[in-house]
Amino acid sequence: MLEKIIETTEFLKSKGIINPDAGIILGTGLGELSCKIKKPIEIDYRDIPNFPVSTVEGHAGKLIYGEFGRKKIVAMRGRFHYYEGYGHEQVALPVRVLKYLGIKCLFLSNAAGGVNPFFQIGDIMIITDHINLLPNPLIGPNNDSIGTRFPDMGEAYDKDLVNKAMQIAQENNIRIHKGVYLATSGPTFETPAEYKYFRIIGADAVGMSTTPEVIIARHMNLRCFAVSVITDLGVEGKIEYTTHESVQNEAAKTESRMTTIMTEMISTL
């Protein structure tokens, strides 16, 4: 694993991706935020050694480096999911490469179904904790030079960054919530009984990503901040037929609000 991380990192450095301040992983329907990056260097995933390739509509499969919020950032426009058939190493490698490129913080976004009855479609939820029902990406031999065998997850999502985001939202009159994100393998959307169960065990929103990336980042002591866009509701009496296209459409409607929050947060790093 370490050899692949170093090989991929050196390749990206040779393309001009040097000393980024932060990394961003953009979820379903939110890839257009990357269009706000100035002086971009764009590289297709398929051209990056050892990188997986995105297979999901709405995930463009590009690594983009440039200026955003007066800082240098590297953005993943498209992520990798277990339901695509990828294993631990393939899911872990991109996040590890971002760390080896020099990022200090990892920002993540996703589209999620809301199970909190107070949520509305189009709301933004800042993730304060998670319930991971996906395979743990740290299963297998541990390399102590990358991170400790048993990383603590008591503060998976950085409290200072959460507080800063709440302040930015208030200053810009953006409706926002805080809550717990639950990750499942997918690719099926949840049954009504599953939605009910997830709410009972403490979830506010449910999706198919993010927690493996956060676990990997915390394994390397990276600060994390993540948000969910509520694109559908898993609340009894409000459940409607859901498609990937409807999720993409609802996620895209939050573009300007998401860009405001991310830009101001990154500019203060």
pTM for the whole structure: 0.91
Residue 7 pLDDT greater than 70, yes or no: yes
pLDDT per residue as tens digits for the range 237-268: 666 556 657 556 666 667 788 888 988 999 88
Q: Exposed, middle or buried, 264 (CB in 10 Å: 0-12/13-18/19+)?
A: middle
Q: All domains of the chain, ordered by start, with CATH?
A: 2-267 (3.40.50.1580)
What is the pLDDT, as a whole number, of residue 41?
Answer: 94
Residue with the two structure tokens 């800042």:
126
Cβ contact 234:114 at 8 Å: yes
Tens of pLDDT along 132-153?
A: 999 999 999 999 999 999 999 9
Q: Which positions ≥6 away from 148 have C-beta within 8 Å?
A: 142, 219
